Amino acid sequence: MAKLYFKFGAMGCSKTAQALITKFNYEERDMKVLLLKPAIDTRDGATVIRSRIGLTQDAVAVKEDEDLYALYEQKYSDCDVIIVDECQFLTPEQVDNLSDIVIDKNIPVLCFGLSTDFTTHLFPGSKRLFEIAESISEIKSVCDCGAKATVNARIGDDGKIVTEGSQVLLGGNDRYVPMCRRCWLQKRAEQA
């Protein structure tokens, strides 16, 4: 029986690398993989997924208003599995589309992404995945202090933690730092 999987973690925990390794594992067994990414993520190009350790793959970029169930049926119904990177940027409706594929087509869907934004609030796509995914697992990341990182601290041009702004601001190590909540709160208090 296929499942909807949500594999989440803070920045730098190897979510993308694990998504691409998973794709390789399926393909090594002669299975066809549909690799998706939200079109809003243009950091490495419109249709490229790149991990911090250098793994790269082309993917299908999906727009915010795109029906993923219809996309699967119309163009990719020969796929054996769907893998989504940066799934936090999906809409709740798109997560429901993926769940419907799992249920109706018995196709496993593996979603990799962040759970929360830089203010520690859930992304809408992640929230929906927490609500309906059959399998939820955390990919651990580490704060500079050695504790488990749970916060994606956004760093401004001045080197300080940013606490206000748009939920979506694309960036990598140049813009975000994984931190434990204790260090994040302490750093914010020091800046005040």
**CA proximity to 181, closest of 139, 150, 146:** 150
Q: Beta-strand (E) ranges in the chain?
A: 4-8, 33-38, 48-50, 56-58, 60-62, 81-85, 109-113, 135-138, 151-154, 176-179
Catalytic residue set: 86
DSSP code for 100: H
Encoding tokens for residue 129? 């995945």
Cβ-contact 175, 154 below 8 angstroms: yes
Radius of gyration of the chain (CA): 17
DSSP code for 123: P
Any bridge partners for residue 154, and if so which? 176
Query: 10 Å Cβ neighbour count for 96?
Result: 17
